[in-house]
Homo-oligomer: A and B are copies of this chain.
Amino acid sequence: MSTTAAPADTIRNGVDTGVMYATLDAIKAQPELGTFQFRAKNRWIGGAHNQTTIQNFYGAGQEDTSRAHEFTIDAGEPAILLGTDTGPNPAEYLLHALAACLTTSIVYVAAARGVELTEVESTLEGDMDVQGALGLNDDYRNGFEQIRVSFTVKGDAPEEKLRGIVARAQLRSAVFDMVTNGVPVSVDVTTD
């Protein structure tokens, strides 16, 4: 932490640490509040264009109704992959999900550790040989062979402390866990 005075209130990095600790205490006291379910609905529009809507979820013991409106997200493919660029493609969205989760985890961990951040930026690269997904060569998997994430993190703490924050975020990020370890996925189909 820097030697300048800490802010009098509980907001750090845009996170209310008072609310953060109250939330942690509430879940410690009543662990069933930790049960969440997130949801998405997707609808095909045409070709590589499909659209997801996201609004409600279950969490902290109840159906959440705090979101005033639904989010709408469009996916697509570039021309070389037979689309018309109606949005980023699904693999790019996976990179976004990973970047967003690691970043938010860094910001929350820094807030908890009393570190004021000034910059968190990342670039991500995913390597894919599309011979896999196209069914042309089974030597290649369908998805990315590997993903590289490069973070630039700056704030009022020495390098070692900033690196420790990123390491802790990596250890606790929901999407980092899912992307590196995988998740069981069931697929059910109705045709009428």
Contact = CB atoms under 8 A, between A and B. Distances in A.
A148 B186 contact: yes
A95 B39 contact: yes
Contacts of A182: 178-182
8 contacts: A39-B92, A91-B101, A143-B174, A147-B186, A151-B188, A151-B189, A166-B189, A170-B187
A185 B147 contact: yes
Given A78-B57, A134-B34, A187-B170, A95 B44 contact: no
Contact of A96 (B36, B42, B180): B42
Interface residues of A, number: 130
Copies of the polypeptide in the assembly? 2
Interface of A: 13-16, 19-20, 23-24, 27-28, 31, 34-44, 46-50, 52, 54, 57, 59-60, 64, 66-68, 71, 73, 75, 77-83, 85, 87-108, 117, 119-137, 140-154, 159, 162-163, 166, 170, 172-192
A14 to B, nearest CB: 3
